Copies of this chain bind each other. A is one copy, B any other.
Amino acid sequence: MSVNPPNQKHPLPVPGFKVGTASCGVKSPALRGKRQDVTLIVAECACHAAGVFTKNRFRAACVRSGEKTLASNSENVRAIVANAGNANAGLGEMETVWARQLIETGAEAAGVVSDSVLSASTGVIGTPFPIERIQEKMHEASDSLAADNWEAAAHAIRTTDTFAKWSSAEIEIEGNRYTLTGIAKGSGMIHPNMATMLAFVATDAPIKAAELGPMLKRAADRSFNCISVDGDTSTNDTLYLLSSGIGLGHAPLADTSLFEHALTELCIELATQIVRDGEGVSKFVTIEVSGAACEADARTVGRAVAVSPLVKTAFAGSDANWGRILSAVGNSGIAIDTNRITLSADDVLMFEKGNLHPDYSDEQGMAVFSQDEFTISLDLGMGDAQATVWTGDLTHEYITINAEYRT
């Protein structure tokens, strides 16, 4: 089940990068040769890089090691090695050993030193990590390295995703043309503050690591941290951004605002693809919060609506139950004045400044809520800040996926 997955063009190659995949049978030896499950992204020059990680206190070893590498070596990143099928998490001391072995295997296949390699793992928690199966087949990834291989990588990082997720953009800045290409995976355990979600973005726009870091954080706050499927945050969430531009000889950009805009849009595109593929999601709902005292307040209110089981089941039932939405707003913890709140669904005004709108009828609301995509707009009347959050509904299918199968 997914809601209107994008029917999009192939991802664009990014100057300086090659991508390869391998079929290692990470989840089970029986899958070897049947699906690609290891991805290798290699840069031909030193990249400036940044990362955003899960805020879960149980952080998998790959997250801890990625953070460490970026802290010491963010201007000399050469590769990302990623696997699906096993999160290498919840495994105690062996986790760290296996994560290092994954990085060493990736470094060898990429022909670079291991402290220039970032890693990411996704899949089941608590099952011993089959490093030997990866070591055995990693050569397939180096053998298949190619500039136009991003789509294969988007497939290889999937776990329960029903479609592969990518997005590309081209921008012209100061007379030069640059590319951004990103791939992402995630469908369960999706929630603000990074979900079981991996996303890797590569660009040849020349920007220093010191600027990439805060920029990526802002872009994540407006994209991946604004989506919710089920309110859970995983142990392994990772977003990496690699820039080859300076290594390729470009002068660093004087003004990064155009790039940041393109990066944010690309992250939003990847993030909303994740919601469209959310476990059991049958509706894609955009929640626009305006009139907030600050952007953080707007986002908090949007998230409170996006995670409320009562709101999400109302979406599932095509029930324009505005009382549940207002109750969720009231639960957000943000200071609000209920007499200033205005609520619409698409272009139907439901609730205006504390009162049900006299022209509103349940039929109008139901007509909006019965669509597979619609927008809830909330004006808090407290200021000028706004934020957008994207969410899905909570369906029987979600229960079936999560109660009946082990993920």
Binding site for B on A (CB under 8 A): 55-59, 89-93, 124-126, 188-189, 230-235, 307-310, 313-314, 316-317, 319, 321-324, 326-332, 334-336, 338-339, 351, 354-356, 393-396, 398-400, 402-404, 406-407
CB contacts (< 8 Å) of A90 on chain B: these are 322-323, 326, 351, 356
- Find chain B residues with CB under 8 A from A235 CB: 327, 330
- Minimum C-beta distance from A75 to chain B (A): 31
Decide if A56 touches B323 in the complex (CB within 8 Å): no
Pair A58/B309 contact, Cβ less than 8 Å: no
Out of B330, B335, B404, name the residue touching A317 (CB < 8 Å): B404
Q: Which 8 A-B pairs have the closest CB atoms?
A: A125-B323, A317-B403, A58-B330, A92-B355, A313-B402, A56-B330, A57-B330, A316-B403
The residue that A323 contacts in the complex, of B89, B309, B319, B393, with Cβ under 8 A, is B89
Contact A309:B230 (CB < 8 A) given known A327-B58, A330-B57: yes
Across the interface, A93 reaches (CB within 8 A) one of B308, B336, B355, namely B355
A152–B156 alpha-carbon span in the complex (Å): 62
Given contacts A326-B90, A396-B399, contact A310 B58 (CB under 8 A): no
Contact of A356 among B126, B307, B314, B330 (CB under 8 A): B126
**Closest residue of B by beta carbon distance from A125:** B323
Interface residue from B59, B310, B319, B356 paired with A188 (Cβ < 8 Å):
B310
Q: Which residues of B contact A93 (CB under 8 A)?
A: 354-355
User: How many Å lie between the Cα of A309 and that of B391 in the bound state?
Assistant: 15
Contacts of A356 in B (CB 8 A): 90-92, 126
Closest to A230 in B: B309
Copy total for this chain: 2
Contact of A58 among B56, B89, B338 (CB under 8 A): B338
CB distance from A405 to the nearest CB of B (A): 8
Give Cα distance in the complex from A330 to B90, angstroms. 11
Interchain CB contact under 8 A, B57 and A310 = no
Known: A57-B330, A58-B338. A309 touches B406 (CB 8 A): no
CA distance A68 to B402 in the complex (A): 45
Shortest C-beta distance, A90 to chain B (Å), equals: 5
Contact A56 B402 (CB under 8 A): no
User: Which single member of B126, B313, B329, B399 contacts A313 (CB below 8 Å)?
Assistant: B399
* Docked CA distance A403–B321 (Å): 10
- CB contact under 8 A between A57 and B309, given known A233-B331, A314-B402, A321-B406: no
Determine whether the beta carbon of B327 is less than 8 Å from that of A56: yes
Chain B residues, Cβ within 8 Å of A319? 403, 406
Cβ A232 vs Cβ B331 within 8 A: yes
Q: A57-B329, A396-B399 are in contact. List 6 more A-B contacts (CB 8 A).
A: A92-B355, A231-B308, A232-B309, A314-B402, A319-B403, A394-B403
Q: In the bound complex, do residue B338 and residue A57 qualify as a contact, i.e. CB atoms below 8 Å apart?
A: yes
Residue on B nearest A353 in the bound complex, by CB: B92
Which single member of B338, B351, B399 contacts A399 (CB below 8 Å)? Answer: B399
Known: A90-B356, A231-B308, A235-B327. A399 touches B56 (CB 8 A): no
> From residue A328, how far is it (CB to closest CB) to chain B in Å?
7
Question: Measured between C-beta atoms, what is the minimum distance from A15 to chain B in Å?
Answer: 38
Residues in B neighbouring A126, C-beta threshold 8 A: 322-323, 356
Listed A/B pairs (24) with beta-carbon separation below 8 Å: A56-B327, A56-B330, A57-B330, A57-B332, A57-B336, A57-B338, A58-B329, A90-B326, A92-B354, A92-B355, A93-B355, A124-B323, A125-B323, A231-B307, A231-B309, A232-B308, A232-B310, A234-B327, A235-B327, A309-B402, A313-B398, A314-B402, A394-B403, A396-B396
Q: Report the bound CA distance from A399 to B282 in whole Å.
A: 13
Contact flag A232-B330 (CB < 8 Å), given A58-B338, A396-B396, A406-B321:
no
A399→B394 contact, CB < 8 A: yes
CA distance A291 to B285 in the complex (A): 41
Q: In angstroms, how far is the closest chain B Cβ from the Cβ of A331? A: 5
